[in-house]
Structure 1
Amino acid sequence: MEESAFYCVSNLQALPCNLEGSNASVCVMLLSSFGQRFVSNLTGSSMLEIAVLTVAIPLLVVFRHATISNSMAGGSLKKNDDAVAESRNMKTYLTTLCLDYLAIVLPVVSFVTVLADWTYIGSFLIVIFTLISVASKRYKFGGSSLSFQGDSNSLRAYISSYRFIVMIMTCECILAVDFRIFPRRLAKTETYGTSLMDLGVGSFVVVNSFVSRQARNIKTIGWKNAVQSSIPLIILGFIRFVTTAGVNYQLHVSEYGVHWNFFFTLAGVSILTSMVNIPPQYSGILGSLVLVVYQLCLLLGLNNYLLSNERGTDIISQNKEGLFSLFGYWGMYLVGVHLGNYLFFETSSSASKSSRWVRIRVWILCLSFGLLSVLLDRYVEKASRRMCNLPYVVMVFANNLQIFSILMLGDLVPGSKISLLEEAFNRNLLPTFLLANILTGLVNMSMNTLSASSFTATCILIVYTFVLSITAGIADFYGIKLKLG
């Protein structure tokens, strides 16, 4: 049966136009069955491979920073929103943007497709090239000793680079996973395990928490206003549910539930956080308490309920994964608020001292969370994105802090701290993500992605990521900044 399904999928485009009746029904049934198997029973990759990938990708950004001059950097071209776009050179801007794409985005596409089996070698080469570039640029500028002084501006640049990395990886994977060229070990796991795509939703929550109003110690809005501001996310959640159901997109119901999805999780976290107004200095304690209590509930039998294939007719049972994992994501967000305040927004009498200590704190936290994730995964419970258990939360923090620690090596590089492409994405993060979802839907409606050859899939992914990059760049060039919610 599985071979017949694969034959039907791989030869779908060649089926005769007059195929109808029972033959067509059988083919559609086989196609649906194969699509479900394509996203089911996945166990992920190793923590080591995920760690290597989260070293290589930020190193690509550092490498790009080491190869561009200040005149080409995003920071030097930063403009006011009301600036006149015609005062700048569009040709030079697009040329620099394309170079950013070739140096950062294109290698990322390769790492999750054609070079997926060469992850360790590729990462090693990137480390070597980056070290050579850093050394040569430091020699050119007369730098003879290592310096990690930095300043508050470089910290803001690293946060922007971090947000860009999370976004470009998410946008790349949500389409790449629909093709057979994307390794199944990097796709979302079914129950327990670790994979690159498992980091997606968790990283989004961490990104939001690090730079949230709560982390910056800005007066938070009431829960009623929080609900109103979350309405766009809720609407997007309903739109995603309707559209994916309409095109028969290959989703597995155990990911979030029958009706739940990523947008509902973000909205839920926002509403829960606004209902408990707590200073950022203490949010880490509350978040840790939520995570520990939730983990105890999982070990006492809640995990059996969440992993069971049996579902009732009530709304809670239909969406049990999404609803209960909300406690894990909320705890993650609260801990992220505390870390964001502790690392980036805590006041200090000396800016340079503050910047230096941020780097030390990030490296210590990265190592601590990394070690803790291994211990929890081995002795408490395997990491599970589906339930958002404590080992998963710790693993997400470990990998995200690792990205930060790599980006902070940029203080070794004289000159630029951010590229044009990074700045362009940061000005319209959510609109860019929405565009990525729209393009992903259009690709899935216009072709059968499971039957695409490796060459076709790679070409589509290159065009897709290039369109995203150019669109974000043009919007940034003309000072367009959309804010949703």
Structure 2
Amino acid sequence: MTHRVREASPSSRRSSFCLVQRGNANGLHSVTSRGGGDGACERGGMRSRDVKAKVAFVSDNAGTSFSEVNAIVFVVVTFAFVSLTLQHARRGSKRHERMTEVFETITLAAASLASMFAPRLAFTASCVAAGSCALYWMAPKREDQARAAARTFSFEDGVAMYRFTLAMLTVIAILAVDFAPFPRRLGKTETYGVSLMDVGGGSYIFSSAIVSRAARGSARQSLSSNVRKVLPVIVLGIVRLVTTSAVGYHSIESEYGRHWNFFFTLAAVRMFPFVPERALVFGVTITLAYQYILTAYGLSEWVLQAPGERNHSHANWLVRVVSMNREGICSVSGYYAIHLIGVHLGKSMSKPTSSIAPWLRRTAIMVIVFWCVALVLHRGVENISRRAANSSYVFWVVAFNLQVVIAYVAMTHMLARRLPTLIVPRLAFAVSRNQLIVFLAGNILTGIVNLSMDTIGANDAEAWAVMTVYVCTICVVALKTPSGG
């Protein structure tokens, strides 16, 4: 039986926060504009009516279909294939090398943005591009001398392209959602459902896990050593909390909780010092055990309860804090399961190989299994919920990411056999190696844009212009940041 959350009419409450509540037939939504009282909301960066408009604009989303989310990532994967195919067509031409690099950067960035602002047009263009590339590769060609059956293959190029794709889609979406051209169905769902933005957080965790120290087989570290490593991420979370409080920036409480944000989730997942040898088994076990608690003990109803209905205990400050941030704290279990499964995949790609056929077969079977389990859990146990990071969400995120990894690994393997040296676009490697910096830059720029203009009232031309500048800035940040930042 599928669990549903009962949402009643709003109940008023007072706190040291500016709280805006909006009730309608679908339920109640709360947004916290952190400040020193009602006056702070007016004197600060965002006025109360602006906060109401912002939360109304992104609320009540029931999501979209699995196929549409897959279609969006297909657009970026296809144009990545176009960029790499262009290398083969231009091979040996030093004159056009710089022009090709610029074209690759523009193509990848534009495809990422167009997949959201003009999804149907972008999908049509990607189908045409895919067909053109297929015709190019089917045409008779002189075989390259560098092609050799004994040549070893590294997963690095495919992983870099995959991490770039998921990072760019996530970073672009966090600002694009505030503009009218962005389809509402692609934003974060209110309680249950699937969308492009729902898969973003889990994809970031997964893509980080496959290149983590644990995935590379590094020695286990102590808890104190792990804490030191995640301390900068915790600081980023605190800075974000303090900054949004100071400027009265809108924060939707039902996303992660009153004070929690994704930086805290990222820190919590990375803080665990122990990654078991059988990471896949432990990851699946954790998510199924967590789902049992969600379903059997009513934790799901508690986590997904409408913010306006919640009663926070005054008896114990720790219990009160946990209650206020229930989504963020409870969902760590699901995100840690995603991390463990990502570590398992990363281990399988940590060393070069002379044949990737066995790996492709095993991973393809994993994709099918995870998709099947995700659909069974989604329809038979509990619908996918990003807020709770339940088992259906975990299996969906893993299946979604695995299929993108397979696509890029197969693509780069095919091209590596035909090119003396396969050169992954600089932008892809830059974004892949500086994911946290790119994610941080996206958050800062999103805040600046929202505080400096009325994104909801912007017309299509203004939205495209702002987003183009935003994407270009993100690309420059990634390209100028030293590798490993």
Tell me whether the two structures share a fold, i.e. TM-score over 0.5.
yes
Could you tell me how far apart the structure 1 residues matched to 2:264 and 2:185 are?
26
The aligned runs of 1:308-323 (5 Å cut-off) are 308=305, 309=307, 310-313=310-313, 314-323=320-329
Tell me if the contact between 1:39 and 1:250 (Cα under 8 Å) persists in the aligned partners. Answer: no
Q: Give 1:266-281 correspondences, 5 Å limit.
A: 266-272=266-272, 274=273, 276-279=274-277
Residues 370-401 of structure 1 show CA distances to partners (whole Å, capped at 9, x for unaligned) of 22222211111100000000000111011111
Shift of the 150–164 alpha-carbon distance from structure 1 to 2, 3 Å rule, reads: farther
Q: Does 1:424 align with 2:430?
A: yes
SS of residue matched to 1:167: helix
Counterparts of 1:150 and 1:176, CA distance in 2: 46
Alignment partners' CA distance in 2, 1:318 and 1:378:
29
1:99 paired residue number: 103
- How far has the Cα of 1:138 moved from its partner? 5.5
Q: What per-residue deviation string (whole Å, max 9, x for no partner) do you get for residues 337-385 of structure 1? A: 12222x313x69xx222x2222222222222222222221111110000
Higher relative contact order (CA 8 A, sep 6+): 1
1:459 aligns with 2:465: yes
Separation (CA, whole Å) in 1 of partners of 2:158 and 2:150: 11
Q: Flag the 1:471–1:33 CA change in 2: closer, same or farther, 3 A.
A: closer
Asked whether 1:306 is paired with 2:312, we answer no
Q: Answer whether contact 1:54 1:402 (CA < 8 A) is retained.
A: no
- Given the superposition, is the C-alpha separation of residues 370 and 471 from structure 1 closer, same or farther in structure 2, using an over 3 Å criterion? same
Deviations 1:16-41, CA, capped at 9 Å, x for gaps: xxxxxxx999x944332222212222
Q: Is the 8 A contact 2:153 2:354 kept in 1?
A: no
For residues 186 and 246 of structure 2, the distance between their equivalents in structure 1, rounded to whole angstroms, comes to 26
* Alignment-derived partner of residue 184 in structure 2: 184
The answer on 1:382 being equivalent to 2:383 is yes
* Greater Cα shift, 202-211 or 95-104: 95-104
Counterparts of 2:125 and 2:464, CA distance in 1:
22
Instruction: Provide the rounded CA distance (Å) in 1 between the counterparts of 2:115 and 2:154.
Output: 28
Cα distance in 2, alignment partners of residues 148 and 312 from structure 1 = 66
SS in 1 for 2:196: coil
Q: 1:311 & 1:58 partners in 2: Cα distance?
A: 46
Structure 1 pair 173/149, CA: closer, same or farther in 2 (3 Å)?
farther
Contact 1:362 1:404 in 2 (8 A): no
Aligned 8 A contact 2:187 2:197 in 1: yes
Q: Say if 1:62 and 1:409, in contact at 8 Å, map to a contact too.
A: no
Q: Which amino acid aligns with 1:359?
A: L
TM-score by length of 2: 0.81
What's the offset of the Cα at 1:278? 2.1
Amino acid at match of 1:283: A
- The answer to whether the 8 Å contact 1:230/1:271 transfers is yes
- Alpha-carbon RMSD across the aligned residues, in angstroms, is 3.1
TM-score by length of 1: 0.81
For residues 458 and 335 of structure 1, the distance between their equivalents in structure 2, rounded to whole angstroms, comes to 37
Q: 1:334 to 1:152 in 2, by over 3 A?
A: farther
> Partner of 1:218 in structure 2?
218
SS at match of 1:168: helix
- Asked whether the 8 Å contact 2:268–2:332 carries over to 1, the reply is yes
Q: 1-side partners of 2:214 and 2:364: how far apart?
A: 23
**Distance (Å, rounded) in 2 between the aligned partners of 1:375 and 1:212:** 30
Which residue pairs with 1:325 in the alignment?
A: 331
1:136-185 C-alpha deviation (Å, 9 max, x unpaired): 145364369xx997965442100011111111111111111121221111
Counterpart position of 2:55: 36
Q: Report the Cα distance in structure 2 between the residues aligned to 1:72 and 1:28, rounded to whole angstroms.
A: 56
Distance in 2 (CA, whole Å) between partners of 1:394 and 1:364 is: 14
Match of 1:352 in 2: 354
Shift of residue 260, structure 1, vs aligned partner: 0.5
Match of 1:363 in 2: 364
SS at match of 1:217: coil
Q: How many residues align?
A: 428
How far is 1:122 from its partner?
A: 3.9
Structure 2: distance between partners of 1:107 and 1:150:
35
Determine what percentage of the aligned residue pairs are the same residue: 30
The alpha-carbon distance between structure 1 residues 37 and 158, as it changes in their structure 2 partners (threshold 3 A), is same
Q: Tell me if the contact between 1:40 and 1:252 (Cα under 8 Å) persists in the aligned partners.
A: no
Distance in 1 of aligned mates of 2:484 and 2:341: 28
Distance of 1:376 and 1:302 partners within structure 2: 17
CA distance in 1, matches of 2:139, 2:220: 48
Matches within 5 A, 1:18-417: 28-69=47-88, 93=98, 95-113=99-117, 115-116=118-119, 118=120, 122-137=122-137, 139=139, 141-142=141-142, 153-272=153-272, 274=273, 276-279=274-277, 282-300=278-296, 301-308=298-305, 309=307, 310-313=310-313, 314-341=320-347, 343-345=348-350, 351-353=353-355, 355-410=356-411, 411-413=413-415, 414-415=418-419, 416=422
Give 1:458 shift. Answer: 0.8
Structure 1 residues 85-134: Cα deviation after superposition (integer angstroms, max 9, x where no partner): xxxx9x965x4443123211112211211x13x1xx64354234224224
Q: Is the 8 A contact 1:269 1:333 kept in 2?
A: yes
Structure 2 counterpart of 1:402, one-letter code = Q
The residue that corresponds to 1:14 in the other structure is: none
The answer (yes or no) to whether the contact 2:73–2:165 under 8 Å persists in 1 is no
Q: Name the CA shift for 1:49/1:192 in 2 (closer, same or farther; >3 Å).
A: same
Cα contact 2:75–2:111 (8 A) shared by 1:
no
Aligned to 1:255, what secondary structure does the other structure show? helix
2:464 paired with 1:445? no
Is the Cα contact below 8 Å between 2:87 and 2:100 reproduced in 1?
no
Partners in 2 of 1:177 and 1:168 — Cα distance?
Answer: 14
CA distance in 1, matches of 2:71, 2:475: 25
| CA deviation profile, 1:322-342 (whole Å, cap 9, x unmatched) | 01111111111112212222x
For residues 183 and 245 of structure 2, the distance between their equivalents in structure 1, rounded to whole angstroms, comes to 25
CA distance in 1, matches of 2:204, 2:148: 28
Instruction: Indicate how the Cα distance of structure 1 residues 92 and 377 shifts in structure 2: closer, same or farther if over 3 A, else same.
Output: same
Moved over 4 A (4+): 69-73, 147-154
* TM-fit CA distance, 1:242: 1.9
1:52 Cα offset (Å) = 1.8
2:200, 2:163 → 1: CA distance? 12
Change (3 A) 1:440 1:431: same
Distance 1:424 1:24 in 2: 40
Change in Cα spacing, 1:430 to 1:71, as seen in structure 2 (3 Å) is farther
Q: For the residues of structure 1 that align with 2:440 and 2:238, how far apart are their CA atoms?
A: 14
